[in-house]
Amino acid sequence: MSRSSAQQREGAGCVDGSWYPESVAEPARKRATYEDVISAPPHMVAEIVDGELHLSPRPGAPHSMAASVLATELGPPFSRGRGGPGGWLLLIEPEVHLGADILVPDYGGWRRERMPFVTDVPYFTLTPDWICEVLSPSTERTDRADKLPVYAREGVRHVWLVNPLQRTLEVLRLESGRWLTLAVHRDDARVRAEPFDAIELELGALWADVRIG
């Protein structure tokens, strides 16, 4: 067999009379596993979306303040039934396994008829009814572009997006598999936002104790 015939058979090519070997495909990307989540540094939040490990720094002060105040506002009336209808089980930073994806929202809620209590488990596999993500510059892209599609795929009915730097609350509802923005509330507005519209939320409380700049 001639040299040129052998090279053609092996998949070689020719450019300007010079032979080059056939390109070798890159190996398939290794998909992240739960072991990667467990092994993540303790100061990072570890999540897996579409087989890729996402590591995010622990929340900054404005983020932590907004999440903490929101918990104190929603917890008594909806989780404990004090000054509100009850009927919810609300958890801060639950680790949720949705199919092959592993997500850690800032706040999550299940209606008690679906999850009346928690057991001694390391994570949850039941899809939440409501999710809140508190956005920060380092996480907003992942929260919007990567995690929202997973929440939609798994049938999370309600999502809140809180931005403490912009002082906004976006209220989303899942309709026919797509996110519908019901409202964008700002600054010190007093709002009734589903699914917690049984009470009026003082939005300004989420950033009242934050000074930026």
Per-residue pLDDT tens over the stretch 2-28: 444 444 444 444 444 544 445 455 556
Q: What is the pLDDT of residue 59?
A: 86
As a whole number, mean pLDDT of residues 170-196 equals 98
Phi and psi torsions of 88, nearest 5°: -130, 155
Q: What is the pLDDT of residue 58?
A: 87
Q: What is the pLDDT of residue 28?
A: 64
Largest CA distance in the chain: 88
3-class SS of residue 24: coil
As a whole number, mean pLDDT of residues 47-51 equals 97
3-class SS of residue 135: coil
Q: What is the pLDDT of residue 32?
A: 96
Q: Is the confidence at residue 213, as pLDDT, over 80?
A: no
As a whole number, mean pLDDT of residues 80-97 equals 96
As to burial, measured by CB atoms within 10 angstroms (0-12 exposed, 13-18 middle, 19+ buried), residue 42 is exposed
Q: What is the pLDDT of residue 25?
A: 52
User: CA gyration radius for the chain?
Assistant: 24
Instruction: Supply the DSSP string of 188-212, one letter for each residue.
Output: T-EE--TTSTTS-EEGGGGTTT---
- The 8-class DSSP code of residue 160 comes to E
As a whole number, mean pLDDT of residues 86-114 equals 97
* Better-scored residue on pLDDT, 20 or 62: 62
* Better-scored residue on pLDDT, 2 or 178: 178
Q: Is the confidence at residue 176, as pLDDT, over 60?
A: yes
